[in-house]
Amino acid sequence: MALQFRDHKILQTQAKVDLFTIVFSASEGAAEGELIGQLVADMLQQTAAKDLSGFVAVEGDVLAGGVLFSRFKLPVNKTAFILSPMAIATDQQGKGLGQALINHGLVALKAQGVEVLLTYGDPNYYQKVGFEVISQDFIEAPQPLSYPDGWLAQSLTDQPLLPMPGKTRCVDALNRPEFW
Ligand SMILES: CC(C)(COP(=O)(O)OP(=O)(O)OC[C@H]1O[C@@H](n2cnc3c(N)ncnc32)[C@H](O)[C@@H]1OP(=O)(O)O)[C@@H](O)C(=O)NCCC(=O)NCCS
């Protein structure tokens, strides 16, 4: 059975919550697994459809990975989303699937008119899919960052990123200090 990238809405919420809980429990410990599982549940249940996008990698009935993107308000009139969180099933990691899933999402977000994409994570990983490290003078984070080197953005248009000073906002489910 071939691996396919599909809109996340083909799957029930619980399947996605379970994937993130299991993957993050394996990589970061049970408490982090519960926290990220709850984040995914909250994002899926509380975020308006127009403010949420996501994709899953499936092989037949098996869920191999998932990524969520949610709306991010910039202080300028540009459409922005943030990638968070993402997970690749533990036995599928390190085979290029994460990068392929993100790249699938980038194409879809561009087609939806998203102009700027942010994320917060390991720069060594996310630089492989077009992100660059930015400072908080460039684009503010919605919460204080415990790891400022992991604040990342990319333009999804042919316009280069320019500084956008001022307050920003993420969706409510993500707007908790423990995620930043
Ligand atoms: C991080 C994660 C999404 C990467 O997906 P993946 O499919 O395993 O990664 P890929 O196969 O696409 O990319 C592999 C490359 O990224 C690097 N890489 C993988 N995970 C990495 C990580 N956590 N940090 C830095 N680099 C990483 C590998 O060294 C490899 O580099 P190379 O191509 O130069 O050898 C996945 O491993 C995962 O779900 N991890 C646990 C949960 C997590 O940390 N999620 C991200 C934070 S929201």
SS3 113: coil
Percentage of residues in the chain having pLDDT higher than 70 = 100
What are 99's two structure tokens? 């990068």
97: CA distance to ligand 1 center in Å?
Answer: 9
Q: What is the pLDDT of residue 1?
A: 76
In tens, the pLDDT along 35-82 reads: 999 999 999 999 999 999 999 999 998 999 999 999 999 999 999 999
Question: For ligand 1, atom 26, which residue shows the shortest CA distance?
Answer: 125
| Domain hosting residue 36, numbered range | 3-179
- What number is the average pLDDT over the span 85-95? 97
Question: 131 CA to middle of ligand 1, Å?
Answer: 14
Query: Mean of the per-residue pLDDT values for the chain?
Result: 97
Torsion of CA 102, 107, 108, 110, to 10 degrees: 120
Residue 132, amino acid: E
Q: 110-159: per-residue pLDDT in tens? A: 999 999 999 999 999 999 999 999 999 999 999 999 999 999 999 999 99
Judge contact between 106 and 129, C-beta under 8 A: yes
Task: Residue 147: give its domain's CATH number.
Answer: 3.40.630.30
Say if CB 40 and CB 20 are below 8 A apart.
yes
Query: What's the confidence (pLDDT) of residue 32?
Result: 97
Dist CA 23 CA 43 (whole Å): 17
The Å distance, Cα 124 to ligand 1 centre, comes to: 9
Distance CA 167, CA 88 (A): 32
Model's pTM, two decimal places?
Answer: 0.96
82 lines ligand 1 (CB under 6 A): no
Domain count, the chain: 1
Measured in degrees and rounded to the nearest 5, phi and psi for residue 23 equal -65, -45
